[in-house]
Chain A
Amino acid sequence: MKTGLTAIPYALRLLLIVVLVGLWQVFCSIGLLGTGIVPAPVTIWHDMCAVMGQSASRAALWLSLRDILIAALIAGAGGIAVGMIVHPIRLLRAALEPYLASYYAVPTFIFYPALITVTGSGRLPIILISIMLGIVAMITTTLTALDGVSRSIVRTARVFGLTPLQNVMYVRIPAAAPMLLSGLRLCVSYAFIGVIASEFIMSDAGVGYQIAYAYDNFDTDTMYGYIGCVVVLAAATTLGFDMIAAEPVKREGA
Chain B
Amino acid sequence: MTAIQAHFRAVAPPVVLMGAVLVLWQVACWAYPHPEPGPVSVAATLLHLMGKAYFWHNAAATGRSFLLASGISIAVGGALGLLIGSSRLLSWYLAPLLMIFQTVPKITLYPIVLELFGLGMAPKVAFGVMHGVIPVYFITSRLVAGVRKVLLRSARVMRLGAAERFYFVIVPAILPDMIATLRVSVALCLLGVLIGEMFASHSGLGFMAVNAINLGDTPVTLAVGFFLAFMAVGINTLLLYCEHKLRH
Contacts and interface: CB of A to CB of B under 8 A. Distances in A.
Q: Do A and B touch directly, given a CB cutoff of 8 Å in the complex?
A: yes
Interface in A8-66: 9, 12-13, 16-17, 20, 36-38
Given A102-B232, A113-B221, A238-B96, A230 B104 contact: yes
Contact of B213 (A16, A96, A110, A234): A110
B187 A104 contact: yes
B236 A13 contact: no
A231 B100 CA distance: 7
A110 B236 contact: no
Contacts of B106: 193
Nearest to A201: B107
A197 B103 CA distance: 12
Contact of A101 (B100, B110, B187, B224): B187
Interface string A186-224: 001100110011001100000010010001000000010
How extensive is the interface on chain A, given as a class? 35 or more
A152 interface: no
A102 B187 contact: yes
Q: Is the interface of A mostly helix, strand, loop or mixed?
A: helix
Interface of B: 9-10, 13-14, 16-18, 34-36, 92-93, 96-97, 99-100, 102-112, 115-116, 183-184, 186-188, 190-191, 194-195, 198, 206, 209, 213, 216, 218, 221-222, 224-225, 228-229, 231-233, 235-237, 240
A9 to B, nearest CB: 6
B14 A189 contact: no
A227 B237 CA distance: 38
Contacts of A16: 93, 97
A104 B191 contact: yes
Contacts, number: 151
A114 interface: yes
Given A36-B115, A140-B184, A196-B105, A99 B209 contact: no
A224 to B, nearest CB: 9
Given A38-B112, A193-B105, A196-B107, A102 B229 contact: yes
B103 A189 contact: yes
Contact of B209 (A9, A110, A188, A208): A110
Contact of A107 (B184, B209, B231): B209
A150 to B, nearest CB: 16
A23 to B, nearest CB: 13
